[in-house]
Structure 1
């Protein structure tokens, strides 16, 4: 389960870094890490120390909790009084699908989502 969380956090870092146009090289310089280490963090291959995650949050201008958004703990079984959890991340899947769209399709999806979010007579806002 830990690896899934590491991958999720790494993916969130990668998405945010790309959104802000920050290169792996620049990120590595700020964190005093190699480009390879940044790649390993983003792929979830290496676990990120809490102090480094805190610095990354500062560089990417987000709170540390941003990296864990989309993780939902769902109990899947009980074993000798202990719950075992499975984690789901719909938001990550949605972003990945969005990134695979053409610019025209992205624009259409964006407009549709904005329209869905607007209050209207048929909504219970």
Structure 2
């Protein structure tokens, strides 16, 4: 860890890791998990994402685990390749991370509202990901809408 990073952590009140120990920032872990979520929803492998970004799949793995911090230009590229707004990577961030991130999230209220009704755990279940992938493989818009209406009709009323 650089002395600059150590100073930033101290200013944030984070404990210093022991020598040789590297703990990723909770924000880096969250952003990485959102990269993984979107990549998985698209059915894209780490290798394919790496190719699109000019990276190895190992580098993508490190980003997804939060071990490597994602810089602004890389975040921009990820948003473009994964076809999401940059704010997507900060969505559903726990309030405990606070600070700038929660202010940023509040400005993205419109996007967050479209996500209401979904538990974070639900989005990470394999069943959900497979269902979403299968749904988007339906190429006929009218058929896809009927499937959507059928699923909604089977769910209990709120």
1:64 to 2:86 alignment: yes
Point out the structure with the larger strand share: 1
More helix by share: 2
Distance 2:96 2:26 in 1: 14
For 2:27, the equivalent position in structure 1 comes to 5
Structure 2 segments unaligned to the other structure (5+ residues): 1-13, 15-23, 102-117, 132-151
Runs of 4+ in structure 1 off by over 6 angstroms are: none
Matched residue, 1:26: 48
Alignment RMSD, CA only? 3.5
Judged with a 3 Å threshold, the aligned counterparts in structure 2 of structure 1 residues 112 and 8 are, in CA distance, closer, same or farther, namely: farther
TM-score, length-normalised on structure 1? 0.63
Structure 1 segment 19-98 matched on structure 2, within 5 A? 19-74=41-96, 91-96=119-124, 98=125
Q: Normalised by the size of structure 2, how large is the TM-score?
A: 0.51
Render the CA deviation track for 1:7-64: whole Å, top value 9, x for unaligned.
1110111011011011111111111111100000001110001100100001111000
- The 3 A distance-change label for structure 1 pair 3 and 27 is same
Matched residue, 1:122: none
d(CA) in 2 for partners of 1:50, 1:10:
13
Q: Which residue of 2 aligns with 1:80?
A: none
Return the alpha-carbon distance in structure 1 between the equivalents of residues 29 and 55 of structure 2. 19
